[in-house]
Amino acid sequence: MDPKQLLFYAAGPALGAVLGGVTVALGWLRPRAGLAAALVGALAWWAGGPGTAAALLLFVALGSLAARGNPRSRDRGGREPLQVLANGLPAGLGGVLLGPVFFYGAVAAALADTLASELGGRAPWAWRPGRGRVPSGTNAAVSLPGTLALVLGAALVALPFGGEHRAAVFAAGVLGAVLDTLTGPLEERLGGWTNDVNNAVATAAAGLLAWMLA
């Protein structure tokens, strides 16, 4: 193997270890989630190097800060291992196998959904199909602040990282987050369909859509 390639692949676990340690130290992740973050960080680097790694760092930072700023958030104390894997593993694996556009589409959906949940959760109320007006933060409900935050989250990944495929990444990010909302009620109807499963399916679908549109 070429020395440059060897260095590139060796940098993945190193970056992952740093990411896991720093995010746990900052309280963004629970201590048990450090290893999950290390794995996702390594995959992010292997998916596209500095660009994909930076996109992952943006998602982690903004998502964590948004949770800290939402007094109703269940993630104010840090995210659990399954949450890290649900949001990051589809992006990382898909990025390694299919390229960085897949990764960016999946991360755009993850950030869009996260900001929609955390910022929308601070709205006075929300609306859910079939139920009408419900308290903000209700599963599968939408609000104007949450919808604007969803679009912003997708744009924050697509514009700086999407390059010539920014439109595909943006569309995939928005539609992936919308899919996450539409499939949210399955958590109440299907045993085993948890929020983590829902997030993993939505991010994987967004990554695949970005790859197909690019």
Kindly tell me if the per-residue pLDDT of 158 is higher than 90.
yes
- Predicted local confidence at residue 78, as pLDDT: 87
Considering the chain, what percentage of its residues have pLDDT values greater than 70?
95
pLDDT-based confidence at residue 7 (cuts at 50, 70, 90): confident
Write the pLDDT tens digit of every residue in 148-157.
Answer: 999 999 999 9
Asked if 58 contacts 32 with a C-beta cutoff of 8 angstroms, the reply is no
Dihedral sign, Cα of residue 65, residue 68, residue 72, residue 78 = positive
Kindly tell me if the per-residue pLDDT of 122 is higher than 80.
no
Kindly tell me if the per-residue pLDDT of 47 is higher than 90.
yes
Considering the chain, what percentage of its residues have pLDDT values greater than 90?
64
| Residue 168 included in any domain | yes
pLDDT-based confidence at residue 75 (cuts at 50, 70, 90): confident
Kindly tell me if the per-residue pLDDT of 41 is higher than 90.
yes
| Residue 39 included in any domain | no
Write the pLDDT tens digit of every residue in 180-189.
Answer: 988 888 888 8
Q: What are phi and psi of 174, to 5 degrees?
A: -65, -50
Lowest mean pLDDT across 9-13, 24-28, 70-74, 80-84: 70-74
The tokens of 49 are what?
């190097």
| Residue 128 included in any domain | yes
pLDDT-based confidence at residue 1 (cuts at 50, 70, 90): low
HSE-CB for 64 with a 13 A CA cutoff: 20
The tokens of 183 are what?
């499939």
Q: Domains in the chain: how many in total?
A: 1
| Residue 18 included in any domain | no
Domain interval for residue 97:
50-213
pLDDT-based confidence at residue 191 (cuts at 50, 70, 90): confident
Asked if 108 contacts 59 with a C-beta cutoff of 8 angstroms, the reply is no
| Residue 197 included in any domain | yes
pLDDT-based confidence at residue 125 (cuts at 50, 70, 90): low
| Residue 66 included in any domain | yes
Asked if 109 contacts 176 with a C-beta cutoff of 8 angstroms, the reply is yes
| Residue 165 included in any domain | yes
| Residue 23 included in any domain | no
pLDDT-based confidence at residue 128 (cuts at 50, 70, 90): confident
Query: Residue range 61-84: average pLDDT?
Result: 88
Write the pLDDT tens digit of every residue in 139-148.
Answer: 767 788 888 9
CA separation for the pair 104, 92 (Å, rounded): 10
- Predicted local confidence at residue 171, as pLDDT: 98
